[in-house]
Amino acid sequence: MPSKAVSDAFEARLQSWPNLSACPLVEINEVSTVPKPPYLEIEWPAAVEDRMSKGKPAIYRERGGARFIITVSTNMPAWKAQVLAWADELRDLFRSAPLGGVETDEASPAVIDERNREGTKFHVPFAVAYTYDVLK
């Protein structure tokens, strides 16, 4: 799980994505009605922190990845072109970008295979690596 500063920085940057209204962000742990696809989720599958300096205060570096998941309806016409275009826009938005103290690095290509299918939904993930230094 990321620090609050990292989560806030990613969500703030996401607000500048021009297709956010067509593919809205859904919070994965919020009691609300999930809209019909398409929609976007952000998961935080991995994060670690290393102490980078001695003494007090010290520099701590958080490193991790944000996993973006675009969900569409199964068998939606022209889904692939739309999803890959959105994924590329989001990758460009977050790739190697300073986000108020958070630095992003690589943005992996979208993954499409049989594991994406879940009933009437098709999930297309990609990940963005980040680092965040804080003085504590």
Write the pLDDT tens digit of every residue in 62-105.
999 999 999 999 888 889 999 999 999 999 999 998 898 999 99
Q: Is the domain defined by 4-135 classed in CATH 3.30.2000.20? A: yes
Question: pLDDT value at position 31?
Answer: 59
Got the DSSP string for 19-56? TTTTS-B--TT--SPPPSSPEEEEEEEEEEEEE-S-SS
Question: pLDDT value at position 118?
Answer: 87
Write the pLDDT tens digit of every residue in 4-56.
999 999 999 999 999 999 999 998 777 566 678 999 999 999 999 999 999 99
Element (H, E) at 12: helix 4-14
Question: pLDDT value at position 94?
Answer: 97
Got the DSSP string for 83-125? HHHHHHHHHHHHTT-EETTEEEEEEPPP--SGGGEETTEEEEE
SS3 65: strand
d(CA 130, CA 84): 22
Contact assessment for residue 40 and residue 94, using Cβ atoms and an 8 Å cutoff: no
Element (H, E) at 62: strand 59-73
Write the pLDDT tens digit of every residue in 99-124.
989 999 999 999 998 888 888 999 99
